Chain A
Amino acid sequence: MATELTFEEVYEEHFEFVWRSIRRLGVDETAQDDLVQEVFLVVYRRLADFEGRSSVKTWLFGIALRVARTHRRGLARKGGLDPLPPEMADGSQRGPEAAASRNEALRLLDRLLDELDEDKRAVFVLAELEQMTAPEIADALGVKVNTVYSRLRAARTAFDAAVKREKAKEERLS
């Protein structure tokens, strides 16, 4: 049974999620438009085949993950990443100090996420930032729930250690 959803509905309801996900999977801002488009072009071609056994959101994340992975591999083959620091969120709607502090925090987060391998990063982003449940994440990534738990455990341990390391570094410098 194919889905009754229209492409337009998927775009309108899930654009924000796809946009965030692509960014949180480590794609820099210069490529974000292109990759979000790419995700939705895959959706356009495959929506008729989407049977609704998983949620649209988890299906979209699976596509975003593969698109981001292909992009990163392409960059790696070219021998480099974007020469500019990654764009960090919309701090412009806050006061300058708050924005600077927030942007600094987000830069740190991106750096720490980059330290996780791709599998752990995906689980960590979905669990901690998108606040999905383990079964939903398993669905999105096509892995068993136990695998989600083990990756999340490892990702949390690594992330927590990295945050403590950064804090210690800051304290030494201050």
Chain B
Amino acid sequence: MTDLGPDARALLDVARDAHQPSAADKARVKALLAASIAALPATAEAASSSASAPAASAGTSAATTGSALLKIGAAVVAAAGLATAVYVTQLQEPEGAPVPAVEAPASTAPAEVEPAAEATVDVSTLAEQAQRLAEVRVALRDGAFADVLERVDAYESKFPDGMLREEALAARALALCGLGRGDEGRAAREALAEEAPHSAHLGRIDAACD
């Protein structure tokens, strides 16, 4: 087997523990995922049907597999009162997926659904916050930096202590640097570093603002 030279090995050694998510990353994706799961058609249908229906299939049902997330997700939908506004990742099957999709049995979810009051996140605004940040990410990806700034301003104005504030601050810094306003971008970077000194976004901002 071909082996790698010492320089290549050294580079891989540096990289091996890189790209780790923070606890905030894990919590954020979990909350967004919960909202997406709650907005799945099968779940929505289940939420309006019997609350005591037994699991219909052998093995582990989607209702039991996703129960903890569903508690939050269902609350997101209930509190937002607008399932269509929830940020939902497109449920397109990846190309070439070898295993046929298994839909969550509609009759299995409701037993796990809890009232909105049991949610532990700020469910009343989470859907809107996630939607706004998704739009910011799209604008950032498209290089529409002025649009990013407008959207971040609007987000911060409406949610000054929003749970996605770190992402909003990072997007502001990236957009400012993208517009060539490096000094302002670096100042925005410092504002982020003050609030989130271990933010994984700082490295990216440094690269963008070089």
Closest to A74 in B: B92
Most chain A CB within a 10 A radius of its CB, from B25, B33, B57, B137: B33
* Interface residue total, chain B, C-beta cutoff 8 A: 74
> Given A7-B65, A7-B66, A15-B29, A160 and B8 touching (CB < 8 A)?
yes
Check A23–B92 contact: CB distance below 8 A: no
Measured CA separation A171–B100 after assembly (Å): 53
Q: Which of A16, A34, A88, A92 contacts B193 (CB 8 A)?
A: A92
Check A92–B32 contact: CB distance below 8 A: no
* Interface residue total, chain A, C-beta cutoff 8 A: 75
Closest to A38 in B: B89
Check A66–B94 contact: CB distance below 8 A: yes
Measured CA separation A1–B60 after assembly (Å): 10
Question: For the complex, is B64 an interface residue (Cβ under 8 Å from A)?
Answer: yes
Residues of A within 8 A of B206 (CB): 91, 100, 103
Measured CA separation A99–B135 after assembly (Å): 30
Check B96–A2 contact: CB distance below 8 A: no
Check A8–B69 contact: CB distance below 8 A: yes
Measured CA separation A164–B11 after assembly (Å): 11
Q: Mark contacts of A141-167 with chain B using CB atoms, 8 A cut-off: 1 yes-contact digit, 0 otherwise.
A: 010000001001100110110011001
Check A159–B21 contact: CB distance below 8 A: no
Residues of B within 8 A of A100 (CB): 206
Closest to B57 in A: A48
Find residues 84-120 in chain B having any chain A CB closer than 8 Å to their own CB: 89-104
Question: For the complex, is A61 an interface residue (Cβ under 8 Å from B)?
Answer: no
Most chain A CB within a 10 A radius of its CB, from B18, B64, B69, B208: B18
Closest to A96 in B: B206
Question: For the complex, is A126 an interface residue (Cβ under 8 Å from B)?
Answer: no
A-B contact pairs, 23 of them (CB 8 A): A2-B59, A6-B64, A10-B65, A19-B20, A19-B25, A33-B28, A33-B29, A34-B137, A44-B104, A46-B99, A66-B97, A85-B208, A88-B207, A90-B22, A90-B202, A92-B197, A99-B203, A103-B206, A109-B15, A112-B11, A153-B2, A156-B1, A156-B3
Q: Which residues of A contact B (CB under 8 A)?
A: 1-8, 10-11, 15-16, 19-20, 23-24, 29-31, 33-34, 36-38, 40-42, 44-49, 63, 66-67, 69-70, 73, 82-93, 99-100, 102-103, 105-109, 112, 128-129, 131, 142, 149, 152-153, 156-157, 159-160, 163-164, 167
